[in-house]
Structures are given as structure tokens and as C-alpha cells.
């Protein structure tokens, strides 16, 4: 039994060591990726259904190592978050997205603005408000064209401070969205105190529409609540006409998903936006 115990320990230890190594390796590669310009942004349209409404874009981070497959954000953002690397990466994302948005506006694109994901760590940086102000000043993007998406969980830990940060961001003139709504145990008592403009309904609830009764109930209640709190709503992960139909009936304000478009490289996004205006 003793032998077995030791072997078990060795086994665990080896597995742990290799996991730690994988982790370190990925961290090093990610660090280099930032320095070498291997990070890029794709843009997914957010579509409203009112005629003539300009199209908005959510900036989504991509990592393209040379001669290798693209690494999806789900594989490296959690690690970047853990190690703190998300702060310089997020900073890069914010700058790159604002620079792109300004270029599109300057080019005369019928464009409603860009949404940027802020990680928990970034949102909690003491100087986040100055950072956003700096980026707007440096890129020349008018603040109303920038929206920041913050996850529910980031907002619910330390609500007092979150409210103060959101207020300060709002004073800059940027708009604020709560991301992945429904996945983070929001307290409704807190929700009404948060100065937000928009609520994004997580795709896990949209997926079950129109047939799943629970998802239908959740989405119905969420949209009704958002409206009564004065937030507009975006449904994420809209893939079918049937889902769109239900969401429209419930009074959702805008949609994002493969039914309209996947995330696109900047040129493709601009072409897409032009086509929508022409059509
Ligand atoms: P998210 O913010 O909820 O972004 C939406 C995700 O849903 C994107 O995945 C998008 O490609 C995907 N999506 C869009 N439409 C559909 C659809 O119709 N069906 C399905 N199944 N999926 C759809 P992506 O690009 O892989 O990003 C995953 C997550 O990584 C994001 O989720 C966000 O949490 C994080 N992320 C991406 N870029 C950044 C960034 O710049 N900063 C931070 N902090 N997080 C980011
Ligand atoms: Ca988002
Ligand atoms: Ca989301
Ligand atoms: Ca999500």
C-alpha cells in the first residue's frame, strides 16, 4: 500500500509539473505574441432592426502565431487574466479598436461605434478611467462611439467601487454594457444601482429559443426587466430566424450572431457595413 501511495504521488506530481510547464510555455508565447504583433482584432456586427440604423461592432481578440493555427480567445484569455498579462493586452485591444473605429468614421462609413470587452482585472485597475480617457484623446475617437462591455461577475464583486468606476467612465461619455447577462448571479438590488446603458443576454439562453420553455421564460423576464430599468438589450448568439422572431416579439433592441455575420477581419467588416447601407 505504501508503494502504491508513493507511485500515486509521483504520478500526480508529474502530471502537475507538466501542466505547470504547459502553462508557463503558453504564458511566454503570449508575452511574445503581444510584443511581436501577433494579436489582431476581428469585428462582429451588432445589428438593430430599425431602418437606417448604423451598424455597430464588437471587437474580438484573435491570436495568430506565425505558421500555426489561430488560437481562440477561450484558450488564452483565462490564462492572461490569471497572470495579469490581460492588462497590457487589454490596453492594446482598447487602443487598436478605437484607432480602427476612428479610421472607419474618417472614411465615412455608416458606423455606430465599437464595443470593447474589459476584463475583470482591467476594470479593477486603479487608473482604468485615465487609461480610457488617454486612449480616446490619443486616437481622436469621440467618446460616444466607444462602448465598454463588462461581465456581470466583474460588476458584482465590490459593487460600491464598481458603481464609482462606472460613473467616472460614463462622465467621459462612453457607454456601458453588462456582458453575458444571466451567467453571473447578479443581484437585482445591485443591478438597479449600476449606471449601465445596455444588457447583453448571454447566448446560452438564446440557444434554446424558441422551443425551450425555461430559456423562453428567462429571456422574456430579462428583456422586460432591462426595459423597466432603462437599459437597451442585445441578444448574443442569434443563429436562426426562429430565434430572431421570438426576440423581436419580446422587444429586444439589437442582435448579434451568425445569422447576421460571424466576427470579420476589418476589411470584411467595412464591406459588410457598406453592403447593408446599399441594400
Ligand atoms: P463574448 O464577449 O461573449 O463574445 C461573443 C462570443 O460569441 C465570441 O466568441 C463570438 O465569436 C461568439 N459568437 C458570436 N455569434 C455567435 C453565434 O451565433 N453562435 C455562437 N455559438 N457563438 C457566437 P470569441 O470571439 O471566441 O470570444 C470568446 C470570449 O473571449 C468573448 O466572449 C470574451 O469573453 C472573450 N474575449 C474576446 N475578445 C476579448 C478581449 O479583447 N478582451 C477580453 N477581456 N475578453 C475578450
Ligand atoms: Ca462581449
Ligand atoms: Ca457576451
Ligand atoms: Ca460569452
Give the rounded percent of residues in the chain with a pLDDT score beyond 70. Answer: 92
Question: Among residues 169, 100, 175, 99, which one has the least CA distance to residue 131?
Answer: 169
More confident residue, 188 or 249: 249
Q: Which atom of ligand 1 is nearest to the CA of 86?
A: 44
Rounded alpha-carbon distances, angstroms, from residue 93 to 42, 73, 87, 89, 122: 11, 13, 10, 6, 11
Ligand nearest to the CA of 149: 2
Write down the ipTM of this complex: 0.98
Is residue 249 pLDDT above 90, yes or no?
Answer: yes
The alpha carbon of 151 and the centre of ligand 3 are apart by a number of angstroms equal to 8
Q: Whose CA is nearest to atom 8 of ligand 1?
A: 60
Q: How far apart are CA 85 and CA 258, in angstroms?
A: 30
Q: Is any atom of ligand 1 closer than 6 Å to the C-beta of 73?
A: yes
Is residue 65 pLDDT above 70, yes or no?
Answer: yes
Q: How many CB atoms neighbour CB 52 within 10 A?
A: 7
Q: Is any atom of ligand 1 closer than 6 Å to the C-beta of 81?
A: no
Phi, psi of 61 (to 5 degrees): -75, 140
The alpha carbon of 66 and the centre of ligand 2 are apart by a number of angstroms equal to 26
Q: Whose CA is nearest to atom 30 of ligand 1?
A: 73
Q: Is any atom of ligand 1 closer than 6 Å to the C-beta of 206?
A: no
Looking at residue 2, its pLDDT comes to: 46
Is residue 1 pLDDT above 60, yes or no?
Answer: no
Looking at residue 167, its pLDDT comes to: 97
Answer for the pair 135, 94: CB distance below 8 angstroms, yes or no.
Answer: yes
Ion ligand 3, residue ranges at CB < 5 A? 179-180, 236
The alpha carbon of 8 and the centre of ligand 1 are apart by a number of angstroms equal to 39
Q: Which three cell numbers stand for residue 182?
A: 444571466
Q: Is any atom of ligand 1 closer than 6 Å to the C-beta of 234?
A: no
Rounded alpha-carbon distances, angstroms, from residue 278 to 51, 52, 174, 175: 12, 10, 29, 28
Q: How confident is the model at residue 166 (pLDDT cuts 50, 70, 90)?
A: very high
Q: Which tens digits make up the pLDDT trace of 198-247?
A: 999 999 999 999 999 999 999 999 999 999 999 999 999 999 999 999 99
At a CB cut-off of 8 Å and minimum separation 6, what does 2 contact? none
Looking at residue 189, its pLDDT comes to: 75
Q: How confident is the model at residue 11 (pLDDT cuts 50, 70, 90)?
A: low
Looking at residue 7, its pLDDT comes to: 54
Amino acid at each position: 500500500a505504501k508503494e502504491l501511495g508513493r507511485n500515486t504521488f509521483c504520478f500526480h506530481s508529474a502530471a502537475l509539473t507538466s501542466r505547470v510547464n504547459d502553462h508557463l510555455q503558453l504564458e511566454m508565447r503570449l508575452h511574445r505574441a503581444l510584443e511581436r504583433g501577433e494579436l489582431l482584432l476581428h469585428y462582429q456586427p451588432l445589428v438593430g432592426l430599425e431602418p437606417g440604423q448604423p451598424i455597430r461592432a464588437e471587437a474580438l481578440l484573435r491570436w495568430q502565431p506565425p505558421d500555426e493555427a489561430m488560437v481562440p480567445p477561450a484558450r488564452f484569455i483565462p490564462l492572461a487574466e490569471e497572470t495579469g498579462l490581460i492588462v497590457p493586452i487589454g490596453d492594446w485591444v482598447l487602443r487598436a479598436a478605437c484607432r480602427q473605429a476612428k479610421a472607419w468614421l474618417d472614411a465615412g462609413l455608416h458606423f455606430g461605434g465599437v464595443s470593447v470587452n474589459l476584463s475583470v482585472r482591467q476594470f479593477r485597475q486603479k487608473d482604468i478611467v485615465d487609461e480610457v480617457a488617454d486612449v480616446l484623446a490619443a486616437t481622436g475617437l469621440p467618446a460616444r462611439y466607444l462602448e465598454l462591455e463588462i461581465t456581470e461577475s466583474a460588476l458584482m464583486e465590490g459593487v460600491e467601487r464598481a458603481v464609482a468606476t462606472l460613473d467616472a467612465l460614463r462622465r467621459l461619455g462612453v457607454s456601458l454594457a453588462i456582458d453575458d447577462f444571466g451567467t453571473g448571479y447578479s443581484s437585482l438590488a445591485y443591478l438597479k444601482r449600476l449606471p449601465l446603458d445596455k444588457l447583453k443576454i448571454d447566448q446560452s439562453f438564446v440557444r434554446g429559443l424558441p422551443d425551450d420553455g425555461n430559456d423562453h421564460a428567462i429571456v422574456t423576464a430579462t428583456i422586460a426587466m432591462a426595459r423597466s430599468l432603462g437599459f437597451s438589450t442585445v441578444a448574443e448568439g442569434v443563429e436562426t430566424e426562429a430565434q430572431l422572431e421570438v426576440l423581436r416579439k419580446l422587444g429586444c433592441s439589437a442582435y448579434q450572431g451568425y445569422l447576421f455575420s460571424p466576427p470579420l477581419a476589418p476589411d470584411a467588416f467595412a464591406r459588410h457595413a457598406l453592403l447593408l447601407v446599399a441594400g
